[in-house]
Chains A and B, each alone.
Chain A
């Protein structure tokens, strides 16, 4: 679980298969804005459908060149950067 405000780092994109971690947000530093609740993990659901486990989903904010980007990322994409 990550609390809002926690600094996180996104992992590498997994090679092959479905993911909801866009490549441009892989291996970036951001900050947790909000926990959205537990949702079926899309990467697994693409292969196993309803049998896929649920995972916490977070809105994470990233600072880009002159603007911010918020994206909704599953917990296993993230590691603490505190």
Chain B
């Protein structure tokens, strides 16, 4: 049901976007070429590898990790991640621990840390995920194949306004010998949304 609904909604949205672009082009405000270039340059910078590098640095450099948890915008810029096109959005990082597991959602629409994770997966934008992540997160995680121990507290971050969230997963055991790039290669997109462990 909700898939059909999402599909219809997305078809409606793309029709509206097409009509808007046609108007802007006919009035000489912009061109399809200009829009393509804009999207291209935005997406070229918005890559999940940015998020993976941030996590690997946080796992290996405690000073960086504490700066990341305190002021993530400044910390990720240290690593050369460009957030300029994103201002004034506040980036925040939620740390998984032995006691707490974090999960990211946007119940109102589909806010997502694109600069660090690239474009969001389609399930993230589905009505089912958006509704159930806040009402029954443990069950949702189970469907992602993630069975959390009962004692672990789940904190769901609903991105309702000007902040975007990323999860800092726990560093897997037995990775002490790995280099920072090797650690970055272990990280996954779902790990940074909170629907998987690393």
Given known A24-B134, A39-B88, A64-B134, contact A69–B160 (CB-CB < 8 A)? no
Given known A66-B138, A72-B162, contact A22–B156 (CB-CB < 8 A)? no
Which of A24, A36, A67, A70 sits near B162, CB closer than 8 Å?
Answer: A36
Within 8 A of A (CB), among B87-105: 88, 90, 92
Q: How far is the CB of B127 from chain A (nearest CB, A)?
A: 13
How far apart sit A25 and B154, CA to CA, in the bound complex (Å)?
17
Q: Is B157 an interface residue (CB 8 A)?
A: yes
Main secondary structure of the interface of A (DSSP, over half): strand
CB of A67 within 8 A of CB of B156, answer: yes
How far apart sit A74 and B163, CA to CA, in the bound complex (Å)?
12
CB of B159 within 8 A of CB of A72, answer: yes
Give every chain A residue within 8 A of B159 (Cβ-Cβ). 72
CB of B156 within 8 A of CB of A57, answer: no
Q: Is A42 an interface residue (CB 8 A)?
A: yes
CB of B155 within 8 A of CB of A39, answer: no
Number of interface residues of A (CB under 8 A): 22
CB of B156 within 8 A of CB of A36, answer: no
CB of B158 within 8 A of CB of A70, answer: yes
How far apart sit A67 and B88, CA to CA, in the bound complex (Å)?
30
CB of B156 within 8 A of CB of A70, answer: yes
Q: Is A14 an interface residue (CB 8 A)?
A: no
Give every chain A residue within 8 A of B160 (Cβ-Cβ). 20-22, 25, 71-73
By a beta-carbon cutoff of 8 Å, the part of chain B in contact with chain A is 88, 90, 92, 107-108, 134-135, 137-138, 153-163
Counting from the closest, the 4 A-B pairs by CB-CB distance are A67-B154, A72-B161, A71-B158, A39-B162
